[in-house]
Structure 1
């Protein structure tokens, strides 16, 4: 079951999450675990939600 509202994500982020989810399922993870990993990965990469194109990235 999907957790949270995903409407603030771009189409690209949704495609990335779906791709990651499918890869995780193929690796033997449950649907729920695969989805959680996918969205956590997208959030870590992009900081979640749509970006306005302003500001800067934190380079650590």
Structure 2
């Protein structure tokens, strides 16, 4: 009887731990995805500004 209760408690603990790990992994994945999107947006804007300045023929150096 006691063994059954212990195994039930252990199983519920493992399930909650697994769900917590899944939740954390999903959070981390979302954060990484947003960082990548932000990075790509900034890089695209910098590249676009650099190309626009370069096309104007101004003394705008992209790589210093």
Structure 2 length as normaliser, TM-score?
0.33
Which is bigger in relative contact order (C-alpha 8 A, separation at least 6)?
A: 1
Pick the structure with greater CA Rg.
2
- When you count helix as a share of all residues, which structure comes out higher? 2
